């Protein structure tokens, strides 16, 4: 398959970008022509950022799985679509061709239909990184059900909140999942999440770890039994078929929950046509993908990176995508390098957290590993620091692989700012230039554009002026929350929540969150969410959470906690609080540091001055700014003196 919209030179990038801004409808329509449609669109784009209303390819009819699978079968049917690398390197690798993927997705679609799932129903998927997870996602899309994948590290309470918000009636899970040396009892966590739930009708359970599970008659069924029955229905005389549900371009494809500045996670909704186009276009161009290359994105499908650059982006491009069940340090710190050597990986897309973690083991794990197949390296989740960039470049890429430093979010569906591999210039630590169709702008606190000064770098809050096809459409069940979170801070702009720098050449560098959201190992966690969890502990009176620089994670969680006087054993209380956070949210949200304090720096109106706490956590104790507005300025000295 060739990609007529693939950019092959810096000059072509400049031309494409210019057209995408001046004639966005013509630009995206020309890209859309290369996909499979049951009916073409009536109008390319309708939008305003006030409500907000955003519609791409209105009136068009399609099914995304036809574009990810069916249209490739004639030429690529026997080519690998997915290569699955298990947690245990001794276990058999599974290679899933496009023909096999087609059969399995048709079976899952039939299985879902047999179990009462219809177009528009919400299906919660809580599984380990096994091929069946990809089948489940695509099977939902095949019948028009809305999938909501929940990362396997979230707690029962977190799942319960998401099930309630989505009003999900169906769950697909595993008995358990392998992750390094751990076996995670997924079905058991689901059972805990369903205490008091009146909505869920059916749970389909895939056998992975042979962990003993409770199976309730009338509600719980085994994946294997259901798939065997579905196989008889979709395969007749050697021909596999399941007619896909024809979807409107703006029909929801999935909900993915992300943390916000309030305690309640919000369900980001992405729709069918725009999401498909943008993930495909960004995948093909950012990674400069060539047919036959093997692409290894190390993310979990529970996050948006896995949705867009393991499943939908690569498969819609007819690519080979690697799924990895395990972690980079199991059974040793050479696991990534073994996988690259074994499968002759061409593109590696991973997180700065993983790179920094592997840096800590030195170069010995890289010895005797053949990485010569690598052609492109990528970074995702957070800004990559220069030290990690150079280590990645020198020891993994051997100074011959371009590194794409990508910036994007759950809400954006795909990459918004990045260099193109081997096409546009790179700059260590900088995301560089925007994708065609993406119009960044830096504004000050009042929403005024920060204008460039001659040969100077400017700074501001990063916003986008106009929609791209993958932009968030709403937050599930609460459109007002979507408006206030993303479109109300600055008039007629999408606000990313990030700060950025812009140099004289138009390159962008992301400087981190400017709202009350932390970026922990590339995953966003709201401070309010962590505070709510800490405050649920019986001994806690009040807490405040901020981020601080962390050598591996990029940002760590620092909690300032007031406890009642009867809790005198600090170490035990710390452990109790960590256990509480793990139970309420999941281990990913555990504070790295907990400092017990007598009070918090508050204004006379009762607002916690997180600016002061942030500086203390960061070690900037000599320059805390004006503290005269505080109700009790003396509390600041106490907190400074007790800093961990």
3-class DSSP string for 10-31: HHHHHHHHHHHHHCHHHHHHHH
Of the candidates 156, 159, 157, the residue with the CA atom closest to the CA atom of residue 148? 159
Of the candidates 379, 374, 420, the residue with the CA atom closest to the CA atom of residue 399? 374
Spatial separation of the C-alpha atoms in residues 232 and 223, rounded to whole Å: 15
The two tokens of residue 410 are: 């759950």
Other beta carbons less than 10 A from residue 641's beta carbon:
8
Domain boundary among 182, 210, 245: 245
Residue 580 maps to a domain:
yes
Residue 260: what pLDDT? 64
Residue 522 maps to a domain:
yes
Other beta carbons less than 10 A from residue 174's beta carbon:
27
Report the CATH number at residue 205. Answer: 3.40.50.980
Print the domain residue range for 620. 517-641
Of the candidates 528, 80, 553, 603, the residue with the CA atom closest to the CA atom of residue 318? 80
Domain boundary among 213, 228, 245: 245
Query: What is the separation of C-alpha 437 from the centre of its chain, rounded to a whole number of angstroms?
Result: 21
The two tokens of residue 423 are: 């096409």
Report the CATH number at residue 627. Answer: 3.30.300.30
Residue 158 maps to a domain:
yes
Residue 567: what pLDDT? 60
Domain boundary among 185, 214, 245: 245
Of the candidates 638, 548, 565, 563, the residue with the CA atom closest to the CA atom of residue 601? 638
Residue 571 maps to a domain:
yes
Of the candidates 485, 58, 504, 110, the residue with the CA atom closest to the CA atom of residue 250? 58
Residue 85 maps to a domain:
no
Of the candidates 133, 138, 194, the residue with the CA atom closest to the CA atom of residue 161? 194
Summarize pLDDT for 420-473 with one digit per residue, the tens: 999 999 999 999 999 999 999 999 989 999 998 788 899 999 999 999 999 999
Contact 153, 200 (CB under 8 A): no
Intervals of the chain under pLDDT 50:
none
Contact 582, 590 (CB under 8 A): yes
Compute CA distances 278 → 108, 468, 518, whole Å: 26, 8, 26
Compute CA distances 130 → 83, 98, 152, 271, 561, whole Å: 10, 16, 12, 25, 40
Using the CB atoms, write b or e for 340-351: b if 16+ within 10 Å. Answer: bbebebbbbbbb
Spatial separation of the C-alpha atoms in residues 31 and 634, rounded to whole Å: 61
Residue 628: what pLDDT? 64
Spatial separation of the C-alpha atoms in residues 607 and 632, rounded to whole Å: 12
Contact 167, 122 (CB under 8 A): yes
CA atoms within 13 A on the CB side of 83: 19
pTM of the model: 0.91
Q: Radius of gyration of the chain from Cα atoms?
A: 24
Residue 418 maps to a domain:
no
Residue 336: what pLDDT? 98
Residue 411 maps to a domain:
no
Residue 236 maps to a domain:
yes
Q: Report how many domains make up the chain.
A: 2
Report the SS3 class of residue 359. Answer: helix
């Amino acid at each position: 398959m060739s990609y007529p919209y693939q950019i092959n030179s810096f000059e072509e990038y400049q031309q494409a970008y210019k057209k995408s801004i001046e004639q966005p409808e013509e630009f995206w329509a020309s890209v859309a022509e290369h996909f499979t449609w049951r009916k073409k669109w009536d109008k390319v784009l309708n939008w305003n950022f006030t409500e907000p209303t955003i519609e791409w390819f209105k009136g068009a009819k399609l099914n995304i799985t036809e574009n990810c699978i069916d249209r490739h079968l004639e030429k690529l049917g026997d080519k690998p679509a997915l290569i699955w690398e298990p947690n245990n390197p001794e276990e058999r690798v599974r290679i899933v061709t496009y023909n096999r993927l087609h059969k399995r997705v048709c079976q899952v679609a039939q299985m879902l239909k047999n179990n009462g799932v219809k177009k528009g129903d919400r299906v919660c998927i809580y599984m380990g990184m096994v091929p069946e997870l990809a089948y489940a996602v695509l099977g939902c899309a095949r019948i028009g059900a809305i999938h909501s994948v929940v990362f396997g590290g979230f707690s029962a309470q977190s799942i319960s909140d998401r099930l309630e918000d989505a009003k999900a009636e169906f769950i697909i899970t595993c008995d358990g999942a392998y992750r390094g040396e751990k076996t995670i009892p997924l079905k058991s966590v689901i059972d805990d999440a369903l205490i008091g739930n009146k909505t869920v009708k059916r749970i389909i359970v895939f056998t992975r770890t042979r962990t003993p599970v409770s199976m309730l008659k009338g509600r719980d069924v085994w994946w294997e039994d259901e798939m065997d029955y579905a196989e008889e229905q979709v395969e007749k005389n050697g021909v596999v078929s399941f007619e896909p549900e024809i979807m409107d371009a703006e029909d929801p494809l999935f909900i993915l929950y992300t943390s916000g500045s309030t305690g309640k996670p919000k369900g980001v909704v992405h729709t069918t046509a725009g999401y498909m186009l943008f993930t495909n276009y960004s995948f093909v161009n950012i990674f400069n993908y060539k047919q036959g290359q093997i692409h290894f994105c190390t993310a979990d499908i529970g996050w948006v990176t896995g949705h867009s650059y393991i499943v939908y982006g690569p498969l819609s491009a007819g690519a080979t995508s690697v799924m990895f069940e395990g972690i980079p340090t199991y059974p040793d710190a050479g696991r990534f390098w073994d996988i690259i050597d074994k499968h002759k990986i061409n593109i590696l897309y991973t997180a700065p957290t993983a790179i920094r973690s592997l840096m800590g083991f030195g170069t010995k794990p890289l010895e005797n590993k053949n990485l010569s197949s690598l052609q492109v390296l990528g970074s995702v989740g957070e800004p990559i620091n220069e030290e990690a960039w150079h280590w990645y470049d020198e020891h993994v890429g051997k100074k011959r692989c371009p590194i794409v430093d990508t910036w994007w979010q759950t809400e954006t569906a795909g990459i918004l700012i990045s260099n193109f591999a081997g096409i546009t210039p790179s700059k260590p630590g900088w995301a560089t230039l925007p994708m065609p169709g993406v119009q960044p702008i830096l504004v000050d606190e009042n929403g005024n554009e920060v204008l460039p000064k001659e040969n100077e770098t400017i700074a501001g809050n990063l916003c986008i002026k106009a929609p791209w096809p993958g932009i968030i459409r709403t937050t599930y069940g609460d459109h007002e929350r979507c408006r206030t979170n993303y479109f109300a801070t600055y008039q007629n702009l999408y606000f990313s929540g990030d700060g950025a720098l812009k140099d004289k050449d138009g390159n962008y560098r992301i400087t981190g969150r400017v709202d009350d959201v932390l970026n922990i190992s590339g995953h966003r966690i709201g401070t309010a969410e962590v505070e709510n969890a800490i405050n649920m502990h019986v001994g806690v009176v009040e807490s405040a959470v901020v981020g601080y620089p962390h050598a591996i994670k990029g940002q760590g969680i620092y909690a300032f906690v007031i406890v009642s006087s009867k809790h005198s054993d600090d170490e035990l209380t710390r452990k109790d609080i960590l256990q509480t956070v793990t139970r309420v949210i999941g281990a990913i949200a555990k504070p790295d540091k907990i400092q017990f304090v007598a009070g918090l720096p508050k204004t006379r109106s009762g607002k916690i001055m997180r600016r002061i706490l942030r500086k203390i956590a960061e070690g900037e104790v000599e320059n805390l700014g004006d503290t005269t507005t505080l109700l009790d300025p003396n509390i600041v000295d106490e907190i400074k003196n007790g800093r961990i």
